[in-house]
Amino acid sequence: MCGIIGFVGEEQAAPIILSSLENLEYRGYDSAGIATISDGKICLKKDVGHLEEVQQKHHLDELPGVLGIGHVRWATHGGVTANNAHPHLDCSGNIAVVHNGIIENYRELRSRLKSKHNFISQTDTEVIPHLLEDYLNDGASLEEGVIRVTKQLQGSYAFVAIYSREPGKIVAARQGNSLIVGLADGRKFIASDSLSFLKMTDQAIFVEDGEIVVATKDKVRFFNQDSLELEKSPGKIDWKWDEATKQGYDSFTLKEILEEPETARRALMQDKNLVMDMALGILRARQVVFIGCGTSRYAALLGRYVFSKFGGGFSPVIIASEYPYFSESIDSNTLVMAVSQSGETADILEAVRAAKRKSATIFSIVNRVDSSLARMSNKVLYLNCGPEIGVVATKSFVAQLIIFYLLGFAIGNKLDEGLDKLAAAPSWIAGNHRENGKGLIKLAWKLRKRKDFYYIARGTNFHIAGEAALKLKEIAYVHADGMPAGELKHGSLALIEKGTPVIAICPEDYTFHETLSNVEEAKARGAFVIGVSDRREDVFDKWIKIPKVEEIFYPLVSIVPLQLFAYHSAIARGLDPDKPRNLAKSVTVK
Ligand code: G6P
C-alpha cells in the first residue's frame, strides 16, 4: 500500500506535491515519484529510496507545471525497482497514474493488453494507464476513460490519473481504498489522507466507493459509475497540521511516546452517554467478538480481559485477516468490536464488511475520525490522540487501553469510578518516562548485539509481553517472543543460554510469585533477567521500575518503558525508528 496525491492549482505543483508526500510517507517509503504536465507533455521523475533520497537525487520539486500527481510506495506487486515506482505511464507517455491498492485481475488484463501495449513494470497498477490509453485513443475524455477503466478492474484501488491532452484536470476513482478531496481557492487536492494537504486547507470531501472525482483548479465534480453527477458538500478536518510535525523531536516515534501523558488525558475525554450506550450494547449482545491487527489486536486482548472482569462475558479476539473464516458463527445478535488506529487497515475493513453482510452490529475504537472504519460502524469511540506518524503504534495503544478500561467500568456500571481512578494515568505515565529514561538508554546499548529476546508475563500482563516483543521486532529488527511465563518451560527454555535477555513483566499482583518462579527457571539456565515491576527482586539483573497501581492498570504502566526500550534499541543499532524496513503504518492491502 502506498500514498497518493493529485494537485491542480495556479502555482508550481511539484513543490506542493513533494511537501504533501512527506506527510504520506508513513504509508510507504521504498520508492517515490512525481509526474506533472507542462507544455502539453508529461514530465516524470521517480526512483527507489526514501522520498528525501529520491528528491536529493532527482530534484522532484523542479518538475514544471501547475498540475501533477505523486506517490510513495510500499511494494506489493513487483520488487523495489525504479521501473516499479509510480507514477506509471501508457505507451505514448501521455497518461500518468498513481495507485494505492491491489488490482486482483491484473494478470488477465495484462495478458489481454500485452499484444498491443508495452509493459515496463511488474506492477498491477500499470494496466490502468494502458487501459486508459485505449479508451482515450477512441475519443473518450479522461473522466469517461476512468469510468470505463473502473468497470474493468477487480480488487481495491484509489488512483489518480492525468492526461497531457487535458492539461488542467486530474481525475480519480475509489474502490476500497481511502481517497479525500481537499478544497482551497484556486487549489484542489485528491489524496489518500487529509494530512497531506492539511497545512493548506482543512476543507475536505470524502470520496466513497464507486465514485469518480474530476478536479480543476476552480471546481471539483463527483460522478458515479453511471456517469451521473453527485452532489457532495465539504466538511472540516479537525486535526491541526502541526500535530503531524516532529516539533523539535528527533523522531515521530519518540515524540509520540513522550506525548502519552497527554494521550491518556485526551482518551479520557469521552461522551459518557455514548460509553454507557456502548456498554449496554455489549451486555445485550449474544456474543461479542473483537477484531484487530498488530498492536490494535494486543489492545483488544486486554479489552477481552477487562470485559470479562467487569461482567461482559468471555469474548474471542480474532486477528482481522482470519475473521472471514469464522463468518458462519456471526449473526444479527453478534457485536463486533473493531479496534484500529487508522481505521483503514484492509484486513479490518474486509472483516467488518463480512460481519455487516451477516447483519452484525459494529462498534469500533478508532483514532482517525475521517476513516472508512469509523464511517462503517454503528457506534464509535475515538482515541483522540491526534496524528500518529511513527510506523510503530505507541501512543494509540495507550489510548486504546484507556478506552477499554472505560468500557469495562461502564459494563460494571461504575463509569464515574473508572474516570476518577484513571484521572491519575497521565501522571503515572509521565513519572514512568522520567524514572526510566536514562536507564533504558544504557540497557539498550548494553544489549545492542543480542539477537533473541524473550518477554514473559502472566494474566493481563501477558498481552503486554506480546506487544512489547512486537515493538522490538518492528523497530530494532530483533527476534523477540512474547509468551505466557508458564509456557517457557514447555519449549522455549531450550533456547535460553548464558546472557539471553529475558524480560519479565511481573508487577506485584496476582501473577507475581508464579512469574518469578518462571524467571528463576530462566535464570538457572543463564538468562540475563530484566524485571519490569514495582518491586525489586534479587533475581533481576536489571530492574525497570513501574509505579504501584491497582492491579488492573498494570498493563498501562508496564508498556511505557518497554516502548522506550524498543525505541532506544533501534537508535543503539543505528536504525531509523520512524521508518522500519518492509513495514508501513497503514496497511491498506489484504
Ligand atoms: C500495521 C502497522 C502496525 C499496526 C497495524 C494495525 O501493521 O505497522 O503498527 O498495529 O498495522 O493498524 P491499525 O491502524 O489497524 O491499528
**Spacing, Cα 344 to ligand 1 middle (Å):** 9
**Spacing, Cα 579 to ligand 1 middle (Å):** 13
- Phi, psi (rounded to 5 degrees) for 381: -110, 130
The answer to whether the CB of 135 falls within 8 A of the CB of 150 is no
Q: Is the CB of 253 under 6 A from ligand 1?
A: no
Taking all residues of the chain, what is their mean pLDDT, rounded to a whole number?
A: 94
- Please identify, by atom number, the ligand 1 atom nearest to the C-alpha of residue 320: 15
Task: Give me the sign of the Cα torsion angle 143, 148, 152, 156.
Answer: positive
- Please identify, by atom number, the ligand 1 atom nearest to the C-alpha of residue 295: 10
> Which SS3 state, helix, strand or coil, does residue 87 take?
coil
pLDDT above 80 (res 213): yes
Q: Is the CB of 391 under 6 A from ligand 1?
A: yes
Residue 94 to residue 14: CA distance in whole angstroms: 18
Q: Is the CB of 585 under 6 A from ligand 1?
A: yes
The answer to whether the CB of 191 falls within 8 A of the CB of 5 is yes
Query: What's the rounded mean pLDDT across residues 57-68?
Result: 97
Q: Which protein residue's CA is at the shortest distance from atom 2 of ligand 1?
A: 585
Q: Is the CB of 484 under 6 A from ligand 1?
A: no
The tens digit of pLDDT for each residue in 479-517 reads: 999 999 999 989 888 999 999 999 999 999 999 999 999
Least confident of 94-108, 163-177, 317-331, 405-419: 317-331
Amino acid at residue number 13: A
The tens digit of pLDDT for each residue in 533-585 reads: 999 999 999 999 999 999 999 999 999 999 999 999 999 999 999 989 888 88
Q: Which protein residue's CA is at the shortest distance from atom 15 of ligand 1?
A: 340
Query: What's the rounded mean pLDDT across residues 132-148?
Result: 97
What was the pLDDT predicted at 36? Answer: 98
Q: Which three cell numbers stand for residue 352?
A: 467488518
- Please identify, by atom number, the ligand 1 atom nearest to the C-alpha of residue 345: 15
| Confidence grade of residue 26 (pLDDT, cut at 50, 70, 90) | confident
Q: Where are the domains of the chain?
A: 3-244, 249-423, 435-590
What was the pLDDT predicted at 444? Answer: 97
Q: Which three cell numbers stand for residue 95?
A: 497518461
- Please identify, by atom number, the ligand 1 atom nearest to the C-alpha of residue 373: 15
The answer to whether the CB of 306 falls within 8 A of the CB of 339 is no
> Quick one: which H or E segment has residue 353?
helix 346-357
> Quick one: which H or E segment has residue 14?
helix 13-22
Q: What value, to the nearest 5°, has the Cα angle with vertex 188 and ends 185 and 190? A: 155
The tens digit of pLDDT for each residue in 93-108 reads: 999 999 999 999 999 9
Q: Is the CB of 295 under 6 A from ligand 1?
A: yes
**Spacing, Cα 396 to ligand 1 middle (Å):** 10
Q: Is the CB of 394 under 6 A from ligand 1?
A: no
Model confidence, pTM: 0.88
Q: What value, to the nearest 5°, has the Cα angle with vertex 219 and ends 217 and 225? A: 120
**Spacing, Cα 391 to ligand 1 middle (Å):** 8
- Please give the CATH number for the structural domain made up of 435-590: 3.40.50.10490
* Residues across the chain: 590
Choose, from 46, 579, 585, 590, the residue flagged as catalytic. Answer: 585
- Please identify, by atom number, the ligand 1 atom nearest to the C-alpha of residue 348: 15
Catalytic, 489? Answer no
Q: Is the CB of 587 under 6 A from ligand 1?
A: yes
Choose, from 2, 43, 293, 385, the residue flagged as catalytic. Answer: 2
The tens digit of pLDDT for each residue in 340-351 reads: 999 999 999 999
| Confidence grade of residue 173 (pLDDT, cut at 50, 70, 90) | very high
Residue 33 to residue 50: CA distance in whole angstroms: 10
Q: Is the CB of 371 under 6 A from ligand 1?
A: no
**Spacing, Cα 2 to ligand 1 middle (Å):** 14
Residue 79 to residue 86: CA distance in whole angstroms: 12
Which residues partner with 191 through β-bridges?
5, 180
Q: Is the CB of 293 under 6 A from ligand 1?
A: yes
**Spacing, Cα 586 to ligand 1 middle (Å):** 6
Read out DSSP for 396-457? HHHHHHHHHHHHHHHHTT-HHHHHHHHTTHHHHHHHHHHHHHHHHHHHHHHTTT--EEEEEE
**Homologous superfamily (CATH) for 249-423:** Glucose-6-phosphate isomerase like protein; domain 1 (3.40.50.10490)
The tens digit of pLDDT for each residue in 277-298 reads: 999 999 999 999 999 999 999 9
Q: Do domains 249-423 and 435-590 have the same CATH topology?
A: yes
The tens digit of pLDDT for each residue in 530-547 reads: 999 999 999 999 999 999
What was the pLDDT predicted at 1? Answer: 67
Residue 439 to residue 446: CA distance in whole angstroms: 11
Residue 526 to residue 160: CA distance in whole angstroms: 57
pLDDT above 90 (res 314): no
Catalytic, 2? Answer yes
Mutate to test the pocket of ligand 1, among 29, 74, 253, 341 (most ligand atoms within 8 A of CB): 341
Residue 182 to residue 100: CA distance in whole angstroms: 18
- Phi, psi (rounded to 5 degrees) for 204: -145, 155
What was the pLDDT predicted at 328? Answer: 83
Q: Which three cell numbers stand for residue 64?
A: 514544471
The tens digit of pLDDT for each residue in 374-391 reads: 999 999 999 999 999 999
Mutate to test the pocket of ligand 1, among 193, 296, 371, 376 (most ligand atoms within 8 A of CB): 296
User: Look-up: residue for cell 518497554?
Assistant: 562
Fold topology of 3-244: Glutamine Phosphoribosylpyrophosphate, subunit 1, domain 1 (3.60.20)
Query: What's the rounded mean pLDDT across residues 175-193?
Result: 95
**Spacing, Cα 209 to ligand 1 middle (Å):** 22
**Spacing, Cα 468 to ligand 1 middle (Å):** 14
Express the helix, strand and coil content of the chain in percent, nearest 5 each: 40, 25, 35
**Spacing, Cα 590 to ligand 1 middle (Å):** 13
The answer to whether the CB of 161 falls within 8 A of the CB of 140 is no
